[in-house]
Amino acid sequence: MGRKTVQYDDYRVAVQQIILSSSDSDYLDQLIPALKDATISNRTPGLVQSLSQYAEDREADIERIGLTKHDEFLKSVNQLQQVREGTVALTSEILRLNQSIQASTETLAGHKEALVDTRAVRQNIAEASEALRESLKVLHAVNQAHDLIRKKKYYGALKALDDLQNEHLIPTIQNKYATQHKLADIIQKSIPASQKAISEAVMTDLNTWLYRIRETSQFLGEVAFYHTELRRTRQKQRMESNPYLRNFKLNSAIELVFDESEEFDVLDNEELQVDFTPLFECLHIHEALGQSDKFKAEYAATRRRQKELLLPSVVNLMDEEDDSSLSSLLEGIAGFAIIEKATMRRVHNLRSPVDVDELWDSMCQTAISLISKALNDVDNAEVLLKIKGVVALFIQTMDGWGYSVSSLDTFLLKLFEKYAELLKRRFSDDFQEIVSTDDYMPMPISNLDEYDKVVNVSWYTPDKPREELTFPCVLPFSQMYPLCCIDIRNFLNQFYFFSDDHFQHPNIIDETLQKSLDQLLSEKVCQSLVERLSSQYLGQIVQILINLEHFETACQELEQLLIAARSSTSAGGPVILNATEEFRGNKKTAEKRIFELVNSKIDDLVETAEYDWMAPTLETEPSNYMQTLITYLSNIMSSTLLGLPREIKELIYFDALSHAANMILTLPLSPEVKKINPNGVAALAKDVGYLAEFVDSLENAPILKENLDELQQTVLLMQTENPDEFFDISIRNKKFGRVDAMNGPKIMEKITHSIQSPTKTTDRLANFSSRFGMK
């Protein structure tokens, strides 16, 4: 480095220092700075003047000394002369050096000026470089943020913008003299736009996610339904191995504990994965932006719109392959609701439970409305049962997710009412057809297999063990009875099918089943049988009576079956079917109708009697009508009435004989018969005896023969030789006790006897009539 120039205020001191230098090099060291200073400051004359002044002063000193010391003076003069010469030479050298220094100084001044300018430029460049470097940091941070946006790393981008503000922009903006102040201000003003871009980008991703979720909802619901179906199967298997578990339904605590080993995440499995990351990120971004409430409102509005798009305008209950089918509808609702519940569990405070429940209730009401409207076109109970199965699967699935299913349970009641109505209508038609197409003949059985099938489906206790049976054979009831039994069992089973898997009102099933079954048996079976009692065919009436007897037994069995099958929630006590009493009561109606037909036939036969009461000759053979009557009574006993229960058969026979006896008795009492001779009495007695012989051949003859007592005693009275015995109370009670007190005198009045005076007999009759108030 060059020596620093010394500044001199007065060159006399400098001259003094130069002259007093101890050596030439020191002399030059003292002289050169003085020359530089004089040259630079343009005071060279001052330096020359100081040197001249110093020389004059020395000359004066020399002159003074020379005057005093001549020799020394001369010596000094010589020395001075030498010095002067040296000074002149030195002065010349100084001038030359001065010129040289002056030139160098001008060059140096130019260089210094250039250096100063260069330093200023360099400083500006350094400052600009620093500013540019700081600006590049800011721009790099901005670019990094936007690059993160492009890479969908939204939270990182938001954090980068926040760091940019805190570390660069805000400090720079606060320093108004900073070179990058304007750039920082521009970038700071663009930050909201960048944050908005992040918000829009993340919302775009969320909307894409929501769209995919909406498209996935049905499949998610399908997977959830399938998982519920598997749980159903496992629970049924457990119930089969442990009957105690029948008390616990699906989604009960016991079932859930048993099913813990079968872990299954419906949102993350081999077939379906639902990633909530876009939702988490979007919520996180909006929380960072301080827009949580706005985001929650927008998300809620979006889900409401998606709910509307999810629900169709109509639902097809008949075709499960249709996109608008019931399964598709309920699977979509289930998937949507599962997403909502999963969102609540994963992201707290995003979805209000009230909002989620409102969406759920709205979807349920819409689904119920759509199904109810479509039910008008359903007229098949099996289709309705499938609909119930889908709805029940939906209920069990959503109940497991904690949703309220009360409205759906209520809807199942309406569905059951429709189901019960369809079942009742169908089985009503079936019963009607069975009753109307029956042949009303004992049912023929050709082999043991056929026999077993009939006995297994019918409520019937055979009289003989199956090992003792010979085929072909006939069963007492007609074909309608086992067919109705099959329909009754199917009716019971199909009613209880509705309670399978899920139905919260089994007592309603019990009540409706009992009422419906009672109505079907009373109105479609019993009443139809009663209507056919108007038939004139005795065999058909007898078969109807036999069928009524078996239906009464079936109703009694059904009462016990209904008690065993009813749910624990139903009221206790016995089950009473009104049909039981109706079948029992109409057995009496059938019996009366049989009495009517048998008695009508007897009437017809008796009316054909052609007694010649005044016959001139004695008849040797029973009358034709009596032979026909006996044949008829014998035939119905051995064929038509054979299948009736013994007590009913005996009652019918008892009544038939009583009626026949009464009708025969009316023949001689007819007002048209005025007189009866012994031949006429003998003909009547022969017929009565023939009838008595037939009765004697029957089982329970003593009881049945009591019906002939009056007729036989009346014939005996007509044959008596002493009519006065009738008027003797003691004798009449022994011999003619069953003869009507009014009819005896009347018939005796018609008898002609050769041994009796008509006047006397007439008088006794008159006395007898007056005693009993007869006119």
Where residue 562 falls among pLDDT bands split at 50, 70, 90? confident
d(CA 99, CA 131): 47
pLDDT digits (tens, 9 = 90+) for 191-249: 676 666 776 677 777 788 888 888 888 888 888 888 888 877 776 776 667 665 555 56
Selected residue with higher pLDDT from 537 and 183: 537
Determine the pLDDT at residue 49. 78
Tell me how far apart the alpha carbons of residues 675 and 227 are, in angstroms, rounded to a whole number. Answer: 100
Distance between CA atoms of residues 276 and 310, nearest Å: 20
Number of C-beta neighbours around residue 37 at 10 A: 19
DSSP-assigned letter for residue 676: B
Residues 470, 475, 480, 484, Cα dihedral to 10°: -90
pLDDT for the residue numbered 369: 92
Q: What share of the chain is helix, strand, coil (3-state, %, to 5)?
A: 75, 0, 25
| Whole-Å CA distances, 732 to 707, 713, 738, 741, 744 | 19, 10, 9, 10, 10
Residue 444's φ and ψ, nearest 5 degrees, are -80, 140
Q: What is the chain's mean pLDDT, rounded?
A: 80
Q: Which residues contact 628 (CB under 8 A, 6 or more apart)?
A: 605, 608
Amino acid 522: pLDDT: 92
pLDDT tens figures, 493-512: 888 887 776 667 777 888 88
Distances in whole angstroms, Cα of residue 22 to Cα of each of 18, 28, 91, 334, 653? 9, 11, 19, 115, 186
Is residue 757 over pLDDT 50?
no
Q: How confident is the model at residue 772 (pLDDT cuts 50, 70, 90)?
A: very low
> Which one, of 554, 593, 556, 590, lies nearest residue 576 by Cα?
556
pLDDT (tens digit per residue) in 334-391: 999 999 888 888 888 888 889 899 999 999 999 999 999 988 888 888 888 888 888 8
State residue 474 phi and psi, 5-degree precision. Answer: -125, 150
Long-range contacts of 9-15 (CB under 8 A, 24+ apart): 10/50, 11/38, 11/43, 11/46, 11/47, 11/49, 11/50, 11/51, 12/50, 12/53, 12/54, 14/47, 14/50, 15/47, 15/50, 15/51, 15/53, 15/54
The pLDDT of residue 252 is 62
| Gap between the Cα atoms of 684 and 691, Å rounded | 11
Q: Which residue has the higher pLDDT, 307 or 231?
A: 307
Residue 198's H or E segment, with its range, is helix 181-241
DSSP for residue 638: I
More confident residue, 21 or 770: 21
Cα gap 555→517, rounded to integer Å: 10
pTM of the predicted structure, to 2 decimals: 0.68
For residue 752, give both structure tokens.
Answer: 């002609």
Return the closest-CA partner of residue 669 out of 581, 766, 739, 764: 739
Q: Give per-residue pLDDT as tens, 623-646.
A: 999 999 999 988 888 888 877 878
The sign of the dihedral angle between the CA atoms of 738, 743, 745, 747 is: negative
Percent of the chain with pLDDT over 70: 76
Residue 759, pLDDT score = 42
Q: Where residue 250 falls among pLDDT bands split at 50, 70, 90?
A: low
Type of residue at 448: L
Return the SS3 of 283: helix
Instruction: Give me the residues paired with residue 316 across strands.
Output: 325
The whole-angstrom separation of Cα 318 and Cα 371 is 11
Mean per-residue pLDDT for 516-530? 92
* Structure confidence by residue, pLDDT tens digits, 433-478: 999 999 999 999 999 999 999 999 999 988 888 888 888 888 989 9
Map residue 316 onto helix, strand or coil. Answer: strand
Which of 547, 554, 426 has the alpha carbon at shortest distance from 485? Answer: 554
CA angle in degrees (0–180, nearest 5) for 205-211-216: 125
Residue 70 has pLDDT above 80, yes or no: no
Average pLDDT on 96-102 reads 75
pLDDT, tens digit (0-9, with 9 covering 90-100), for 672-702: 988 999 999 999 999 999 999 999 988 888 8
Q: Measured between alpha carbons, how far is 607 from 609 in angstroms, rounded to an integer?
A: 5
Burial track 78-88 (b if 16+ CB lie within 10 A, e otherwise): eebeebbeebe
Q: Which residues contact 18 (CB under 8 A, 6 or more apart)?
A: 27, 30, 31, 34
- pLDDT given at position 682: 92
The pLDDT score that the predictor gives to residue 362 is 93
The C-alpha atoms of residue 628 and residue 687 are separated, in whole angstroms, by 11
Structure tokens at 332: 């979509």
Which pLDDT band, with edges at 50, 70 and 90, does 280 fall under?
A: confident
Give the mean model confidence (pLDDT) for residues 739-745: 83
Rounded Cα gap, residues 246 and 502, in angstroms: 13
Taking residue 642's Cβ as centre, other Cβ atoms within 10 Å add up to: 12
Name the region of 517 (left: φ>0; alpha: ψ -120 to 50; beta: rest).
Answer: alpha
Q: In the predicted model, is pLDDT for residue 773 greater than 50?
A: no
All domains of the chain in start order, with CATH: 11-148 (no CATH), 200-402 (no CATH), 420-592 (1.10.357.30), 608-771 (1.20.58)
**Higher pLDDT, residue 152 or 37:** 37
* Of 23-27, 569-573, 645-649, the least confident: 569-573
Contacts of 254 (CB under 8 A, 6+ apart): 245, 248
- Residue 445's H or E segment, with its range, is strand 443-445
Number of neighbouring beta carbons within 10 Å of residue 76: 19
- Residue pair 340/303 in contact (Cβ under 8 Å)? The answer is yes
The Cα diameter of the chain in Å comes to 251
Give the percent of the chain with pLDDT over 90: 19
What pLDDT shows up at residue 768?
45
Select the more confidently predicted residue: 182 or 281: 281
**Residue pair 625/567 in contact by the 8 Å Cβ criterion:** no
φ/ψ (deg, to 5) at 443: -80, 120
| Gap between the Cα atoms of 181 and 534, Å rounded | 116
Looking at residue 89, its pLDDT comes to: 72
What is the Cα 686 distance to its own chain's centre? 85
List all residues 6 or more positions away from 353 whose beta carbon is below 8 Å from its beta carbon.
344
C-alpha R_g of the chain: 68
C-alpha to C-alpha distance for 332 and 480, rounded to whole angstroms: 48
Query: Distance of CA 708 to CAs 100, 476, 667, 691, Å?
Result: 189, 31, 15, 9
3-state secondary structure 517-542: HHHHHHHHHHHHHHHHHHCCCHHHHH
